[in-house]
Amino acid sequence: MDNLYIGIDTSCYTTSVACIQHGSIVLDERTVLSVPSGARGLRQSDMLFQHNRNLPPLLEKLFSAIDPSAIGGVGVTVSPTAEPGSYMPVFLAGVVAAESVALSRKAALYRGTHQQMHIRAAMKGNETLKEEERFLAFHLSGGTTDLLSVETDGGRVGRITKLGFSRDLHAGQAVDRTGVLLGCPFPCGPHLEKLALSATNRDIRIPSSVSGTDCSFSGTETAAQRLFESGADRSEIAYAVYDCIARTVAKMARNAAEETGCVKILFAGGVSSSGLLREMLSERLSGRAELYFGAPGLSTDNAVGIALMAEDDRCSSRK
């Protein structure tokens, strides 16, 4: 039976492989890329090198855990989004690996985007969204702060339309740059959140910048830098940054709900895995919208979403 579906994702900071069978996770393996202490990221060439180094042992784990003859399809992320010109070299490592696996097994190859993958992964456990013609979604990460309209197609992720975005820094960049400033290892999300949760004084307010369904986070970084230079407590700065992100996203969500009439909102992407941010958003949007959060482990970069999309596509084509 060709009922196993493989996913491969080589994003900016995580190499991922996954296997799905009938919508259930058979395998989910990831390796986070190594970033030098104090650095705020890696060059694309360094990421590509690490992906090429990480993929062979991950694929070895995959093939030792499954029956390769049962592979019905292989999904791979090929670009950040579906927008014209969207491209990053890091995805080439995954594409080459996925094409090789598909050819060797004579299996169908499904190409998707990193953004689609995040949305589909976040939908797992939120299956009622498949029954909606459309819902709103936030993709919050180091590379995107996008407010999206997501159409469904027979339960699959269909057309995605961008309704709003950050005009400069992304939410994840605000987190990571503040984290590095405060001495956290990169990527900084879990470390900055832990620091924020230890804050006893939570009265600092960093101004949020929202215009309709667009936002800006460059001022958030600047404000955090000034607070640090003035001697403010590290935990209080961390909390203020999360509070600013929550207020910003909540304003965008309220404006989008009023504009579109759609109140079902899914949160995807690594930043949305934060329990603190989820709590803040739930409090601010209570009674204004129906919030859906992906499982924390499926909100960060993973290949589960693209494996699910490969299965969705193959099952749909067989009907």
pLDDT at 318: 60
Domain map of the chain by residue range? 4-121+299-318, 171-293
pLDDT at 39: 87
> Does residue 153 register a pLDDT over 60?
yes
Model pLDDT for residues 98-137, shown as the tens digit of each residue:
999 999 999 999 999 999 999 999 999 999 999 999 999 9
> Does residue 319 register a pLDDT over 60?
no
Average pLDDT estimate for 19-25: 97
Please, which residues have CB within 8 angstroms of residue 185's CB and are 6 or more apart in sequence? Answer: 35, 37, 179, 191
pLDDT at 40: 87
pLDDT band for position 241 (cuts 50, 70, 90): very high
Domain 4-121+299-318 annotated CATH 3.30.420.40: yes
Helices (H), the chain: 44-65, 91-105, 114-123, 171-181, 189-197, 218-229, 234-260, 275-284, 296-299, 304-318
Domains 4-121+299-318 and 171-293 share a fold: yes
* CATH number assigned to the domain covering 171-293: 3.30.420.40
CB-based burial label for 291 (10 Å; 0-12, 13-18, 19+): middle
Model pLDDT for residues 280-299, shown as the tens digit of each residue:
999 999 999 999 999 999 99
Amino acid at the residue 208 = S
Contact 98, 75 (CB under 8 A): yes
Task: Enter the pTM of the model.
Answer: 0.95
> Does residue 196 register a pLDDT over 80?
yes
pLDDT at 38: 86
pLDDT at 317: 63
